[in-house]
Amino acid sequence: MTAIRFGLDRLLQDAGLRRPLAGRRLALLAHPASLTRGLDHALDALAGLPDLQLSAAFGPQHGLRGDKQDNMVESADYLDPLHRIPVFSLYGEVRRPTAAMMDSFDVLLVDLQDLGCRIYTFITTLRYVLEAAAAHRKAVWVLDRPNPAGRPVEGTLLRPGWESFVGAGPLPMRHGLTMGELARWFVATLKLDVELEVIAMQGWQPDAAPGYGWPLGERSWINPSPNAPNLSMARAYAGTVMLEGTTLSEGRGTTRPLELFGAPDIDARRLIADMRTLAPQWLAGCVLRECWFEPTFHKHAGKLCNGVQIHVEDPTHYDHAGFRPWRLQALAFKALRLQQPDYPLWRDFAYEYEHDRLAIDLINGSEVLRQWVDDPTAPPTALDEIALADEAAWEAERAASLLY
């Protein structure tokens, strides 16, 4: 088996790959998981090369070094104390880089570990910097990293008019692409005239057990965001992220965020049983376990919650091809709605600074899922038919962007 090499490590180790960067001012867009094989941060590693000239850095949501724990907590610009270069926040006063920011470099290196889910905002930041680079005649080099959720595709496509900071374009919830492949897709679909280079990985095997996208046993897992602590979370995230648009706890304030869900006023054992009755095929590839938890912060803080944990770690429990987290979570909502028709499930608050649309709809990129959940006459097949058509269309569309 060939040892995997991420794009960052290839760039650092191969002077030939770096040669086109000679004499050009470089900026780096990175976060806490932007690390080398030896666990050095990309900013420090690149700054240590005498043939490269770093002139600026950018941080996405949660910051370049990882300074913000919760969602919708902004970061400020600052001067890096070690390298003495400006660090611009793309999750502060602006989401898109300004002209002044773009003037600080010639080539932007993008080194962001993704989770393989449309809602993860690093995808949107990638789109925004590609669009800005096209407008300002700058180059973008993506240093590619694995998609830890692997190649499977799941979910409805984002509908026209539903674009947002958690919806960069007509992608399904689980898109199955790496950041380098997403960059190629954005350039093609948005028809961007931009110099794009992808430093591809070597040895990535997205269909290989036991990681199925993440090189288990080869590379350390570093949180790409504060509540992404392990591979199990990454696998479940394309479903559990929808909990952010509900009144149910997604496990924030516990040590297993976005792997479990619950509330003080639900019957988790009955919920699991009803889910099995409604659509047993949607629960394949994992084990659901009733649990109890008390969040220390966030929703239902200090209250004992009855909940469900999604287990996708044990090889005897996890079936990579069979596990469908988006359908699983949708089914939990449906079962709860049928049990308690008046349950205040949908959380009404300003999600990612959007005030006029429900968070659950922004997350899903349309009203389709919510309307299916709230219609007591709509069977699982009604949602499945829409999703299957969208998934097939995406499988065909993404083919031209694949690198591996």
What is the SS3 assignment for the chain?
CCCCECHHHHHHHCHHHHHHHCCCEEEEEECCCCECCCCCEHHHHHHCCCCCEEEEEEECCCCCCCCCCCCCCCCCCEECCCCCCEEEECCCCCCCCCHHHHCCCCEEEEECCCCCECCCCHHHHHHHHHHHHHHHCCEEEEECCCCCCCCCCECCCCCCCCCECCECCCCCCECCCCHHHHHHHHHHHCCCCCEEEEECCECCCCCCCCCCCCCCCCCCCCCCCCCCCCHHHHHHHHHHHHHHHECCECCCCCCCCCCEEEECCCCHHHHHHHHHHHCHHHHCCCEEEEEEECCCCCCCCCCCEEEEEEECCCCCCCCCCCCCHHHHHHHHHHHHHHHCCCCCCECCCCECCECCCCHHHHHHCCCHHHHHHHCCCCCHHHHHHHHHHHHHHHHHHHHHHCCC
Give me the residues paired with residue 56 across strands. Answer: 27
- The answer to whether the CB of 183 falls within 8 A of the CB of 126 is yes
- Ranges of residues in the chain with a pLDDT under 70 are 1-2, 67-74, 353
Number of neighbouring beta carbons within 10 Å of residue 39 = 9
294 φ, ψ to 5°?
A: -130, 105
Q: Note the pLDDT of residue 2.
A: 66
7-225 fold: Rossmann fold (3.40.50)
Q: Which residues contact 6 (CB under 8 A, 6 or more apart)?
A: 37, 143, 144, 145, 146, 201, 219
Cite the residue boundaries of each domain of the chain with CATH code 3.90.1150.140: 231-394
- Whole-number Å distance between alpha carbons of 335 and 274: 6
Whole-model pTM? Answer: 0.96
Neighbour-count burial of 267, counting CB atoms closer than 10 A to its CB (0-12 exposed, 13-18 middle, 19+ buried): middle
As annotated, the residues of the chain forming the CATH 3.40.50.12170 domain(s) are 7-225
State how far the Cα of 105 lies from the Cα of 273, in Å rounded to an integer: 57
Distance CA 149, CA 126 (A): 19
Measured on CA atoms in the order 286, 288, 292, 295, is the torsion positive or negative? Answer: positive
The total number of residues written for the chain in this structure: 404
Q: For residue 324, give the nearest of 192, 236, 203, 200 by alpha carbon.
A: 236
Phi-psi region of 169 (alpha: psi -120 to 50; beta: other; left: phi over 0): left
The tokens describing 115, both together, are 């989770």
pLDDT in tens, 196-219: 999 999 999 999 999 999 999 999
- The DSSP bridge partners found for residue 140 are 108, 196
CATH number of 231-394: 3.90.1150.140
Nearest to 21 by CA among 142, 139, 181: 139
The pLDDT score that the predictor gives to residue 372 is 98
- Point out which residues pair with 311 in neighbouring strands: 287
Using CA atoms, how far residue 179 sits from 10, 115, 127, 234, 280, in Å, is 16, 10, 10, 15, 33
Distance CA 61, CA 46 (A): 22
Backbone angles phi, psi at 46, to 5 degrees: -70, -40
pLDDT tens sequence across 139-154: 999 999 999 999 999 9
